[in-house]
Each structure stands twice: as C-alpha cells, then as structure tokens.
Structure 1
Amino acid sequence: MPKTLVILAAVLGVAVLAYAVPAIMLAGEVPPDTKVAGVDIGGLSPEEARSRLERELRPRATRAIEVTAAGKKTRLEPVELGLSVDVAATVAAAMDGASTPVGVVRSIFGSRELQPVVKVDEQALTERITALAKTVDRKPKEGVISYQGLEPRTAMPKKGLALDRAAAASAVRGAFLGDGGPVELVTKTLPPAVPAKEVREVASTTARTAVAADFTVTSGAREAAITRAELAAGLSFTGDGGTLKPVFDAKAVAPGLEKRLVEEGHLPRDATFKIVSGRPKVVPARDGKGIDDKELGTAVAEAVAAGERTAKAPVKVTPARLTTEAAGKLGVKERVSSYTSNHPCCAPRVTNIHTIADIVDGHVVKPGETFSLNGLVGKRDKARGFVEAPMILNGRFVDDVGGGVSQFATTMFNAVFFGGFQDVQHMPHMYYISRYPAGRESTVSYPQPDFRWKNDSKYGVLIKTSYTSTSITVQFWSTKRYEVESQSSARYNVKSFPTLKESGPKCQPMSGVEGFTIDVWRIFKRDGKELRRQKFTTVYQPEPKLTCTT
C-alpha cells in the first residue's frame, strides 16, 4: 500500500474515533452545558431533565402576570390564559441533533441556552383577553341635545377606548415565565361619530328653530297642535350615521291629539264597568281608530329634520286596550276604597275638577300597571272644557288653564292610600291647604309633577268618580286585600309665615299659613292583624300673608 494512502487511512481513523467515542459517551443524555431559561440540564437523562425543569420552572410558570390597561391593573393567571410549559418538548428540543457531528463538537467545545417550549391554548387565551377587554373597552359617547323648558341643553360627546386584543395576547405570551410584570397593554382611542363642534352648532341653530313655534298634526280635515313646550319635552337630537338627527317621543302627546283628530264615535273604547245594584257589570269593548305614537314620533322627527312644521297623523285601526273577555277575568267585584274631599261651590276650579273626573271615570288599571294621571288626561286645555283658575306657581297663586285639578289628585291619592295600592309618584303642595288632610295630599301639573300609582295586586282596578257642587268622590272597585288605617303625628318644626305686599294686575292675595312637618303612617291589616306600616313625611313651607296693593 502506498505510503500516502496509509497516512490518509490513519487520519480518517482518528477522525472517526474522535467522533465515535464522544457520541457513544453522550448517547441518551442532554448535551453538557445546556440550559433552559437559566436551568442547567446538561448531562442529565431525559427523565432527570424533565424533573428538574418541572421543579425549577413551576414557580415562574404559575406566577400571575400583572397587566395595566388605561390605568387599570389586573392580575392574569397563566392557567386561565391557557399558557404552560411543554417540558417533554423542551427536553426533546435540547437533545435534538446531539449525536450529529456538529452536535458532538458543540457538546465538547460549546454551550447552549434554550427557551422553554410554551404550550398555548388559543381558545382560552382569546376568551381571557376578551373578558379583559370588556373591563377596558368604552364605547364613544355620542352627543345629545335635549331641552330644559324651551332652551337646548347639550351633553357633549366623549371619546371611547378599546384594548388592542392581538397586541395584548402577544404581550402576555411574551411576559409568561418573566418576573410577573407589570406589562403595559396597548389601547386605541375611538372618536365619536359626531364631533363636539357639530353638536354645538346644531344646539345653537336647528335645535332652537325646531321649538320656535307650535307644530301642527293633521288627519283629513282635522288638525291639532303640539305646543312648543310639548314638542321640547319629547324632542332630542342624537347621533345617527355620523350626524345629529331629531328623535321625538310622542307617547305623552298622542292621547290628547287622538281625541282631537279622531271623531268621538270612531275612537276605540276599552271594556269598562258600570255599577248596577251595587255590583260591577262589564260594558263591552269596541275597536276603533287611533294614533300609533311610535309612527307619530317618526313623522314629527322627519318633519323637524326637513325644517317643516306639519305632519300627518298615522291613524289606523286600533284594538281596544282591554277586551270584553279580559275585563270579565279581572276580579273587579267589590268596592275596596272610597274617598271624598270637599270644596266651596261654584268657583272656576270646580269646573276643572268635574272635567278631569269625567275623563278618568270608568278607567280600568290592569294588574301590574302603573297609572299616570298626566298620561291619561294629557295637557289641560280649553278645547276639552278646562278653564283658567288659580294654582300655585313659584310660591304664588296664578291663573292657569286647569288650575284646581290638584283637588282631584288629592282625592285619588287617598283612594290609593286606603285601597292599599303602591304609591309611585306624588308631590304634596308647597303650602298646607286646610281642605286637604295634612300629609295625605298631592299636587299635579303638566307635564310635571305627575301623580302616579301602581296596581300591585293581581286584580284589575276600576276607577269610578262622582261629584256635587261642593265635593268630589273617587272610588276603587277590585278585590279587597287589606284593611288600611291612617295615623298621623303632631305637627312639628312649625314656622311662622311672613307678611308681604306686592302690586300688579296679576297679584292674588294669600291668607298666610304656618309651615310645619308632619308624619303619616299607612297601616296595612288583614283580619284585624297588622301586617306592616308605611311612613310618609311631608314638609310644608310657610304660606306668606300677601296683600295686593294698587
């Protein structure tokens, strides 16, 4: 054999031995000087390496990650994020390629620093980030224009906020096995669709023009007006598609318009009752024509948006609110309460008391329903027989159409009180009026203050009214649940009244009455046993003694 070949074979043999010997020695072990996240697993068997990693990485793998988004701190647990260390895959990665020539050389002369293989439950991660986003996200608040009286009032728009969910998921994945944070998450600002500048412009122009005059609603040859005040009470401007658009809630005005736009004989008539020989008897219902308040609201809003002052009333066939069959199942069978209040004869206010009593007479309040006096009667007007009479406004007596109807509200309040039904809204008069029971009375005006009560029984309630020239009576017919008694405290915190003089053609003298506070308890009983008590506290201001001078 030539000498050159002998030398080449020797060199090759040495190389083979140089590779084979370490390869055999390292077989089945993690290469020396191999670290995973700072944990040395070099020279260990796979089983030993897995055990060491599980032991050493567990504190970091279970450490909560503190994140901050929009200034709010939250601790996120790795288990709920679906993040964990895949120890077996990490050890396999550490041993991968260790028996190759390159791997042997690296094991002899070098070292390796590996990152753990992280297992991610993508669904769990998404769900947790989504839940976090719900605590951070804030929709933009669009500007709204409403009215205080006839004056536009603005609620300015506000920017919204949204968590960048993809970036948040990436950030918490990167923070896993770290020192626990805090990690600042990225949020994005969401602008409102309508900028503040446009809200101000609409408030100073369109919103003022919209209530500058009464609005006319027509049906055939008939027409009726929505007053400026009624229009402003139901009108608002809200963001829609990048612009502010008018919205009108016609629920409050629809009943009054309906009575003026639809002939009396064509209006729907609810089933009601008449009292025959002391027993309620059903009067059948009748379907008719009525106004859809939602469609009316849309029609008025569209007209306002177009700068118009009239709209057609959406009159359509309307079923009775209470059918004959349903009325027969309401349990209206006996008188459960009655109250009568007295007044001097023949003043203009008596006309208003009789008019409102006629409107309410025969109305049926269903189980669970809340009765609103203003909602049923609407704005008091001359067209329906109301006249000008004194009422209290800003601490003085003034004449107004419908003045005096608070006597009816007070009478009904006492029927509610002794019938055991739920008081929802009542407001006592500013001054004590001697013809009313102290602490058991209610004023009313339109649109506020209203008088509202809830039929919190499982039976219907029939309201019957009657009157003489000096009294008004309200009766409730239903199924009796309670015996109700009233108990009053002595008057306390008594305050003397001032003496004043004023002049002017509209001045009306005031007699002067002391102010005081009084407590009234409503006592609920059944079979003579007290069940509970309800306390009403009323504070009356001193009514001035006012002399009108010329």
Structure 2
Amino acid sequence: MTQQRMLSILRSRYGIIGIAAIVIVIGYLALAVALANHIPAGTKVSGVDVSGLTQQQAQQTLADALDPMLHEQREVKLSNVEHDPVFLDPEGLELQVDTERTLDRLTGFSLNPLRLWRHMFGGDNFSAFVRTNSESLATQLDAISETTDRAARDATIRLEEAQPVVEKAVDGVKLDKERAADVIEQSWLTNTDAIVLPVAVTEAQVTTETATEYVDTLLTPLLEKPLSLTVKEKLVELSPAQIAAAMTIEYKDGFAFSIDSEKIRDVVEQVQPGLLTAPKDASIAIENSAVKITPAVDGEAINTEALASDMLGVAKSKNRTVTVQIDVEKPKLSTADIEGLGVKEIVAEISTPFYEDPVRSTNLRVGSSYVTNTLVRPGETFDLQTALGPLEESRGFVRSGVIVNGFPATDIGGGLSQLATNVFNVGYRAGLEDVAHKPHTVYYDRYPMGLESTIWYDQIFVKWKNTTPYGVLIESFLDGSKITTRLWSTKYYDVQLHQGQPYNFVKAQTKRNPATDCKPSTHKKDGFSVEVGRTVSLNGEQIEDSRNVVHYDPLPAVTCD
C-alpha cells in the first residue's frame, strides 16, 4: 500500500470520528436544553414530589403543600445546651416559602453530567428555603438569647462542715444569632423535630480538674484530722469542722485559702474562753452632767497570714501542731477619734414642764434613756424613731394619752411627743438642718408655741442633720416637774429664734365622737395661727433666715354616743 493511500484512509477515519463527536455534542446540548426547564425525576422538596415539573408548576405545588407548615409553632434548641422549651412564633415571622431560591438549584441550563444524570435517572430530596421578616426574627432570637445564654462559670470550692465540695466549671454559651437565622430559614420545612441552633462556647477559666486537684492535694489532708494551735503557751485543739469554719477559699492565679481573723478568734474563744484579749473601742457618754471619754484598749489577734502559711505545711507533713503568732489588734474607734469629734460643751438646751402622771412619765423616762448618749457624727442625720426603737411593752413603754382624728385616745408610747418637741428644739436651736418635724394639730401650753413637734411612727418623723464639723451628743432626762434635753458639741452656729404673737383665732365647738372608746370632755381650746422661724449665722455671715406659719386647730368639747 502506497503512502498516499494510507494518508487517504487516515483522513477518512478522522473525519468520521469528528463527525461523530459533533453529533454527540449536539445531542448532549439538545438533551441539556430539553431538560433545562424540568425538575429531575424522583426529586422531592421537603417531602413534596416535584418530579418532572417545570419551575412554575413546582412553585405552585410547593406553596400549596408547604403553606400549612408555615403556621405551625416550632420548638428550637441550642446545640448541646440544656434549657426549658423555647418556641418560635410563626405568625410574627411572616414566613413564606422561598420557591425561587429553592428551585433555582433544580432547574435551568447546565452541562454538568451529574445534573443530567439526575434528570434522567432520578433526583434527590431537598429542603425548601423560607423567607422571614428579619426584624421580627431578630427580636425573637434576642428573647431566646436572654433566657438561654449563660456566662462561663469557673469551678469553685466550698466547705460543708469539714468536707470540701467542688462546684464544677460550666462553659459559657451564647446564641449565634446570625448563623441561627440561616439555620431557621433552611430548616423550618425539613421536618417537625426541634430546630437546633448554633452557639458560641466560652470555656471557663478555672477548670473542674484544677479545683479537684487542690482539694485532693491540700484541703482533704488538711481537714481530715484535728489541728492543734499553741496560743500564748496554751494548746487549743480544733476539730476539722472548726478549722473549716474559719477558712475562706478563693481563686487568684490559683486556689488559696485564708483565715478570717474574727472567725478564728470565735473558734479559739469556744475552746479557751478569755484566752485572747478583745480590743475595746473608745466611747463617749454624759455622766453627772459632764462629758466622759472612756479610752480605747488594744487587743490581741492571731496573725492569720502566718497561720495560713503554717497550715500549708501541716497538709504536707505529719506534724499537726502550729504555734500561732499574736499581734496587737487596734480598736476600730481610737481615743483620738472620739476626742477629735469635739464634744465638750452644751450648745443647745430646752426644758419643758410636765405634770406628774405615772403612765405618761414612764414613757418619757424610758424614751429619754434610749435617746441619751446617741452620738451623731458630722454629716449624719438623727432620726428619733430609730433612736427610740420599737414601741413595745417589753422595752418599757406603756399606753397613755394621744390625739387621734382630733379626739383624745390612748396608745402605747403616749406622751413621747414631748420628747419629740425637746429633741426637735435642741437641733433647731443649735442651727442644725431641720429635715423633718410636724407641730401638733392642737396647741399645748407646755410646748413653745409653733416651735414644737409630735411623732407618729412611720408617718410623722423628727429628724435633723448634723451640718457641723463636730460630733453631737444628746442628753435627755426628767428632773422634778420638767424634762430637759441638751445637745453637747462645740458651738458652731449663732442662732436667733423668731416667735410671733398668735392671731387668726378659731372658736372651739362641741363635737360628737362616735368612737367606742370615746371619753366625754367639757374642756375645749380655741385654735389660732402663729409665725415662727430662725436666723442662723456662721462666723458673722447669715446663712439662713426662715419663717413659716403654724396653724393650730381648736380642741372641741366632746360628747359620746
């Protein structure tokens, strides 16, 4: 065979192959075009068969089949987090099937052989996408986050009696809202199970293993047996429970325990009463009409830092006896602190008369005893109700006369309004800030006209604020036919009282009292008004010039039913 003949045959074969290839390509393209507008056979979307349908047909089919699922409440769960059931409100989300996004991946022209294979021999099961109102979804996710998010919690150690207990560490979890929104849109129509939402996890800084190791290597050996303390050459044996009662365990760059000074003192006191001398604060009181300062006294305290350090050694050795170091413990209030308050002289005083009445006098004496030696520091506010405490018979108070709804009656603590008047006056006359007071509704001539006050628990208060740089000490006592109240301090303000003449009189009438405990009375007193006030100066400069009108109601004669 000639060379020319062979070339002719080869050309003929290549031509045939080329033509065949062109035919195949054209056929492949034709097949791709023919299948482009139809969904592959055997394809389901969220369980709905859409095999062979066009995109338009499939959109309607999906809308009809899946719409009911868009109105069903769905439970959501956070991944690997235990929490109470949480649900999404579908109506608020304005859910719609996103058919375009769902079906775009199933139809359309494609030369992908796998896509053509699925068209001819069967597709897959896909999940339909949904569209939501993004703002509403964000709001609901925020609400879920508030109930399910938790901060990381480090492992801690607490002591139950003498038993160390490890509180396990808990990792923090926070709902990943951005990813959660995508998951909801992709998973709503997948099935009826709870939708699992993604979370971001924050690990605890102090692990359970770290706490457990500290317990096993130190606390358990330390607390498994009694511990002996040598305190001032005396042996004090403490049980494991007593040791634990004085311990505080904290984590600062590692677990460590400290010893509370007050608690270890209490424990030692239980075993050896009086072994340690307690510090005593300086105090101030009025005795025999004079200021008496009782000096402070230093005490003794166990050096708790040294003790804690020595106890570490006990946990690692067989020797369970520790010699404690005793330090001087200073009182909280020194003699210099008390002296610096400047309580040295009477800066205000008032005496008001009273008529001997065993019941009423009892309340005045008891009330004065509670008020006397009350120290009001600079900037503090004195409250008579707080100073008196509860009005209870167990505390010495008795029932006596009061005015209720304009009529005489009896109640426990009756008569204390005279003490209220005196206490108000010494604060007012010393130039202190008048915080609260209220004159009686009717006038009693034993009180300074207009410059007086009643008291009724939780309703009417007597309060003044110490606006001086000195301490203020109250003294009150009954002497003969009068009650005297004094304010001791250092004179600071110059005060001039103003008290006008009564005017605007109102004639007293006779009234009927329907109360069951009514007591008839022929005594009556006219009402009137009076202007009172004060001028307060400091270092020659006037800082207050106040006036106010006090109105007293008439006191009627009383008839009973």
Q: Same fold (TM over 0.5)?
A: no
The TM-score normalised by the length of structure 2 is: 0.42
Q: Give the number of the structure whose alpha-carbon radius of gyration is greater.
A: 2
The TM-score normalised by the length of structure 1 is: 0.43
